[in-house]
Amino acid sequence: MIDIEHLRHINAGPAQKARERYRIGSIEPTSGVAPGFTQANMIVLPRDWAFDFLLYAQRNPKACPVLDVSDPGSHATLLAPGADLRSDLPLYRIWRDGRLAEETADATAAWAEYPDLVSFLIGCSFTFETPMAEAGIEIRHITDKSNVPMYLTNRPCRPAGRLHGNMVVSMRPIQASRVADAVTISGRFPAVHGAPIHVGTPEAIGIKDLAAPEFGDPVRIEPGEVPVFWACGVTPQAAVMASRVPFAITHAPGHMFITDIPDSAYHV
Amino acid sequence: MIDIEHLRHINAGPAQKARERYRIGSIEPTSGVAPGFTQANMIVLPRDWAFDFLLYAQRNPKACPVLDVSDPGSHATLLAPGADLRSDLPLYRIWRDGRLAEETADATAAWAEYPDLVSFLIGCSFTFETPMAEAGIEIRHITDKSNVPMYLTNRPCRPAGRLHGNMVVSMRPIQASRVADAVTISGRFPAVHGAPIHVGTPEAIGIKDLAAPEFGDPVRIEPGEVPVFWACGVTPQAAVMASRVPFAITHAPGHMFITDIPDSAYHV
């Protein structure tokens, strides 16, 4: 992993352009957008919940690898100087008492409800899709221009304070002959979920129907392909629901924050 | 990195025996003890300081890679079921208002002063010494049966809340022909400080005299060897001092908590 202090000279034009589009209202899933720049899940909580969440993330690092945490009341991040976390994601979800209250392209109004919100940016598996594609592994949801399918599993996360919930996973169908390569390549990126948590047998982790993901879109599974499951940064949203968190702002699944940090920074 | 849930069957006899010795009062630096089992730095803080510290660790992951965090008031850890963090380290330091108040082989009395202490266990570079030695790289402080030398650098950590301070590094002299191997091997263990932060030129990071480390013992540097510097889990103690933290319990430098987790669990 490279210290982001060393990355100030990187030209992050494609990432900045994408954020500008989202700031003025464009909405799209971000898989395949600004390739080579790290994308992040986001969850924003009142300061009173910040320790519980940071501990939840520490105890569940495969699902919740933290890339940056803002100071209370700030909407800035070191990962993209000049970005505004209130408006630079394509789509947000506002949560009240553990329920989805609203989806919006601009969270500025919701953000103003609390003076001390803390933003957590969490690694996203889109980061290792670029090197997987470069290795000739087809990423089906990119081919088909859809959102990655995500499933709520039966695997409980390790609780922290008032937070508990099950792990959410993303799924990519991979040809059996390339599963080992997909494991190896993603395993080099532990800060963005790393290697899969499960290969094959969806029913063993509580997934009854691959065609009915809880988040995102279903994808084609071709003959000879195995469903491969990675821990997913939508896991905090499952915790918000299960734990009835009073207030939270998150990204909408698949609609990520695009940072200025090159994917290679998270390669070990 | 392997989920510790999968490690329940490991025979951790050598780690347990070392902790039992320390529990009844034996004192020694732990480098080379119970080889193959992960060792950890420790810092224990009142609940009121826990978010600041966890954020400090998140923002300075090379120096403060968190392996486990206890619940407030608990002195147990998943990393060593049955261990007692109050007594199972060989030597503790008790800090008051940012100053070292006491060194003791048993922290039970100090622990009783606060009802809500939170314990943080932090990765230790001793973990990658075993694979480095297996690759034929001499670890000088093990050869010479001394404590590893540690230095306070001029490199500020990224602050978090009330916490600030400079990075502490450990140093190992490495033959120039083996520096690349030492980098590669340690880089495979990002959860225990990973690759070095600096190779050669100690003065560039504010180290005036290699023979006068702030913590631990000086070591011989032979002709053809280069001083190699790794981020060190004593960095939290530098933050306790710089930030005048009212109360903290830590391990004494070099006198670590030995866990039941095999080093290989932190290999990526």
Structure tokens at B258: 């030995």
Same domain? For A58 and A95 the reply is yes
Is B1 part of a structural domain of the chain? no
Task: Inspect the interface and report whether the beta carbons of A50 and B51 lie closer than 8 Å.
Answer: yes
pLDDT in tens, A157-181: 999 999 999 999 999 999 999 999 9
Same domain? For B133 and B214 the reply is yes
How close does chain A come to B51, measured CA to CA in Å? 5
Q: Does B2 touch chain A (CB under 8 A)?
A: no
Mean pLDDT of A119-141: 94
How close does chain A come to B217, measured CA to CA in Å? 29
Q: What is the pLDDT of residue B115?
A: 96
pLDDT band at A266 (very low <50, low <70, confident <90, very high): confident
Alpha helix (H) residue ranges in chain A = 13-23, 50-59, 108-111, 129-134, 140-143, 179-187, 235-242
Same domain? For B134 and B203 the reply is yes
Q: What is the pLDDT of residue B1?
A: 63
Q: What is the pLDDT of residue A191?
A: 86
Same domain? For A139 and A212 the reply is yes
| Cα B82 to Cα B78: distance, rounded to the nearest angstrom | 9
| Cα A181 to Cα A202: distance, rounded to the nearest angstrom | 20
Is B183 part of a structural domain of the chain? yes
Backbone conformation region of residue B78, classed left if phi is above 0, alpha if psi is from -120 to 50, else beta:
alpha
Q: What is the pLDDT of residue B257?
A: 98
Is B211 part of a structural domain of the chain? yes
Asked whether residue A7 carries a pLDDT value surpassing 90, the answer given is no
3-class state of residue B188 by DSSP: coil
Same domain? For B130 and B119 the reply is no
Task: Inspect the interface and report whether the beta carbons of A1 and B51 lie closer than 8 Å.
Answer: no
Q: Which residues on B lie below 8 Å from A70 (Cβ)?
A: none
| Cα B189 to Cα B175: distance, rounded to the nearest angstrom | 21
Residue B228, classified by CB atoms within 10 Å of its CB into exposed (0-12), middle (13-18) or buried (19+), is buried
Is B65 part of a structural domain of the chain? yes
How many A×B Cβ pairs under 8 Å?
Answer: 40
The residue with tokens 């180290």 is B207
Is B3 part of a structural domain of the chain? no
The answer to whether B168 and B237 have CB atoms below 8 angstroms apart is: yes
> ipTM of the predicted structure?
0.81
The residue with tokens 């949203």 is A237
Q: Sheet with B166-175: list strands edge to edge.
A: B150-156, B166-175, B225-231, B198-199
Task: Inspect the interface and report whether the beta carbons of A268 and B3 lie closer than 8 Å.
Answer: no
Q: Which domain CATH number covers B226?
A: 3.30.2040.10
Q: Which domain CATH number covers B258?
A: 3.40.1640.10
Neighbours of B244 (CB within 10 A): 12
3-class state of residue B123 by DSSP: strand
Structure tokens at B12: 């951790």
Q: How many angstroms separate the Cα of A134 from the Cα of each of A65, A181, A190, B51, B99? A: 24, 12, 19, 40, 53
List per-block mean pLDDT (blocks of 10 residues) for chain B, which spans 268 residues: 71 95 96 92 97 96 95 96 97 98 98 97 92 94 93 97 98 95 93 94 97 96 96 97 98 96 87
Is B2 part of a structural domain of the chain? no
Same domain? For A79 and A169 the reply is no
Same domain? For B83 and B139 the reply is no
Number of domains in chain B: 2
Task: Inspect the interface and report whether the beta carbons of B54 and A54 lie closer than 8 Å.
Answer: yes
Which DSSP symbol is given to B216? Answer: S
The answer to whether B228 and B182 have CB atoms below 8 angstroms apart is: yes
Is B70 part of a structural domain of the chain? yes
Same domain? For B118 and B250 the reply is yes
Asked whether residue A264 carries a pLDDT value surpassing 90, the answer given is no
For the CA atoms of B199, B201, B204, B209, what is the dihedral angle to 10 degrees? Answer: 120
- The string over B183-204, giving b where at least 16 C-beta atoms fall within 10 Å of a residue's C-beta and e elsewhere, is eebbeebbbbbbbbbbbeebee
Same domain? For B131 and B145 the reply is yes
pLDDT in tens, A175-213: 999 999 999 999 999 889 999 999 999 999 999 999 999
3-class state of residue A216 by DSSP: coil
- The mean predicted confidence, pLDDT, of chain A is 95
Same domain? For B139 and B212 the reply is yes
Q: Does B268 touch chain A (CB under 8 A)?
A: yes
> In which domain, by residue range, is A167 found?
126-235
Q: What is the pLDDT of residue A1?
A: 63
pLDDT in tens, B172-195: 999 999 999 999 999 999 889 999
Same domain? For A11 and A119 the reply is yes
Same domain? For A146 and A52 the reply is no
| Cα B27 to Cα A183: distance, rounded to the nearest angstrom | 43
- The string over A169-182, giving b where at least 16 C-beta atoms fall within 10 Å of a residue's C-beta and e elsewhere, is bbbbbbeeebbeeb
Nearest by CB to residue A55, choosing from B61, B69, B188, is B69
